[in-house]
Structure 1
Amino acid sequence: NTGFVEGPPRIFTQIRQYSISLPSSNQTLSQRAKTVIMYFSKAGIAALLAALPSTLACLGYEGGVPTATSTKTNSKYIEVKAGQVYDGGWARFDRGSGACNSGEGGQDDAVFLLRRGATLKNAIIGKNQKEGVHCDGPCTLEFVWFEDVCEDAISVKNDKAGDHTWIIGGGAYKAGDKIIQHNGCGTVNIINFYANDYGKVYRSCGNCSSQCKRNVYVEGVTAYGGGEIVGINSNYGDTATLKNVCTDAKVKCQMYNGCAGGCEPSKSGVCSG
């Protein structure tokens, strides 16, 4: 299930206009890429995956964080209730100056809290925060950008086996450790995401007090200047599938021996993805 591409094609495009139809076979590769990605915003995830040509490779947008339309600073997280959609309108959201301080962060430090089945789209998470987006159950992020990750950009918890979280487009910069932390027991799908200057794009929790099997699916991701693309716990049966990943990472998929509670997981080998 490996499909790594070491040199990304220059077909990336800003994804901010949404009024198009399905791609034509007569279109160029670049035109088809643009058409398919923008069609997703109206037709949904299933249509995107069904229409996406396998030859497109990675589609993480390399043009930088979109220009924010405004900045909105909040004293507590913004809660998006179960099943609801929050459109950020390309504003920058943060928690105020000094929010990224030392110590471990938690849900109360997040900029957004998404309940089960909630969606956040078209948003920029600014550098003044400790935790970016927390998902309490499976969630969807569409075109969400993180300017400067403090602790973790995205944390997924309380999802169950069979649940799917979707991270479509968007990207993250300056994540000293993890971009996506997965503490639940479902599947995280990362599609056409961009990462630069990071420790890991995805990590299955290495020492949660309650452990389980987790799955991660990565496709069309662009990641440079960082460490592992994914880290999974082989001893708990985690699975990782990576397709069409453009990266300079020496290790794309790292296996660990996870543990429960106050312990430190150890590396156990490299997975092929």
Structure 2
Amino acid sequence: MSSKTLAALLASFALASAATTNTNLQTAFPKSSGTTALAAVKTIAASATFDGGMYQWDRSPSTCNDQAEGGDADAVFILEDGATLSNVVIGPNNGEGVHCKGKCTLNNVWWTDVCEDAATFLQTSGTSYVNGGGARNADDKVLQHNGAGTVAVKNFWVSNVGKVYRSCGNCKTQYARHSTFTNIHVEDTSVVAGVNSNYGDTTYIKDSCVEDSKTCWVYTGNNSGKEPTKVASGPTGTACTTAAIKTSAC
């Protein structure tokens, strides 16, 4: 990606961020209003909005199978293109959390004890937004980006996870994926973002607190299903850019 293209992306990100829900960063896990367990995944229709009332939503029986890769049937919510999910706590007894089949918006969504992934983004273009909320206790990834376009995260809290975000390193179909992080608080986590430089991925992390964690890992991805190779760690100037990052006392 050229410097002009990267600059245009960052400018577009700044404008898009101003248009998203202004949810303040919250660093204490919220108390749920109650609990509900679904026998099957719940689908939110295209362009529809679902407010979960701060209930803890989960699956019964559990669909969590540790780090075994699951599918749509193992999620709690499927969001069709343009759908919005708000004010939800996702419980521990599911494998896949939220699947966004197209562009989606997640407002104040929290994940406790993530199983395989918390949210998976499958759009073929455009931007999905994660506004507020947070996740804790994930052995591997929180936000998995398998589709194309951009995932824009702001005011998000994370504790004790492997990766906050991963651009798929070995999907059969690969894209140049983009991600942005503004005003996030990350603690006791391996890395904020894992991206594939050979496919033109970019991530931009700014105005954030990253404690006991790395900002970026850069990989050479593939479409063969093999484990991708990590080639760099930390800001690289193209694949990973950071600004105004605190690492303590925040």
Q: TM-score range by the shorter chain?
A: 0.7 to 0.9
Instruction: Determine if the alignment matches structure 1 residue 72 to structure 2 residue 36.
Output: yes
Per the alignment, residue 143 of structure 1 pairs with 108
Shift of 1:158: 3.1
Per the alignment, in what secondary structure is the counterpart of residue 252 of structure 1? Answer: strand
Gapped regions of structure 2 (runs ≥ 5): 1-15, 236-240, 242-250
Question: Which residue among 167, 170, 174 is the counterpart of 1:204?
Answer: 167
Distance in structure 1 (CA, Å) of the matches to 2:192 and 2:55: 28
Counterparts in 2 of 1:77-96, with a 5 A limit? 77-96=41-60
Contact 2:170-2:224 at 8 Å conserved across structures: yes
The letter of the residue matching 1:116 is D
Shift of 1:147: 1.0
Tell me which protein shows more strand as a share of its residues. Answer: 2
Contact 1:74-1:95 at 8 Å conserved across structures: yes
The letter of the residue matching 1:120 is L
Divergent runs of 4+, >4 A: none
Distance in structure 1 (CA, Å) of the matches to 2:141 and 2:166: 7
Q: TM-score, normalization: structure 1? A: 0.77
Shift of 1:250: 4.3
Deviations 1:44-102 (A, max 9, x none): 963568x89xxxxxx631122x1111211111111001100000011110002543224
Contact 2:107-2:132 at 8 Å conserved across structures: yes
Question: Which residue among 102, 108, 112 is the counterpart of 2:77?
Answer: 112
CA 1:91–1:209: 2 relative to 1, 3 Å: same
Per the alignment, in what secondary structure is the counterpart of residue 108 of structure 1? Answer: helix
CA 1:45–1:237: 2 relative to 1, 3 Å: closer
Counterparts in 2 of 1:1-273, with a 5 A limit? 46-47=18-19, 60-64=25-29, 66-102=30-66, 103-160=68-125, 163-272=126-235, 273=241
Contact 2:55-2:89 at 8 Å conserved across structures: yes
Look at both structures and tell me which one has the larger radius of gyration over its CA atoms.
1
Distance in structure 2 (CA, Å) of the matches to 1:227 and 1:144: 22
Name the % identity.
41
Shift of 1:128: 1.2
Q: How many residues align?
A: 220
The letter of the residue matching 2:87 is N
Per the alignment, residue 41 of structure 1 pairs with none
Per the alignment, in what secondary structure is the counterpart of residue 264 of structure 1? Answer: coil
Per the alignment, in what secondary structure is the counterpart of residue 226 of structure 1? Answer: coil
| Higher RCO by CA contacts (8 Å cutoff, separation 6 or greater) | 1
Per the alignment, residue 9 of structure 2 pairs with none
The letter of the residue matching 1:247 is V
Contact 2:39-2:61 at 8 Å conserved across structures: no
Per the alignment, in what secondary structure is the counterpart of residue 73 of structure 2? Answer: helix
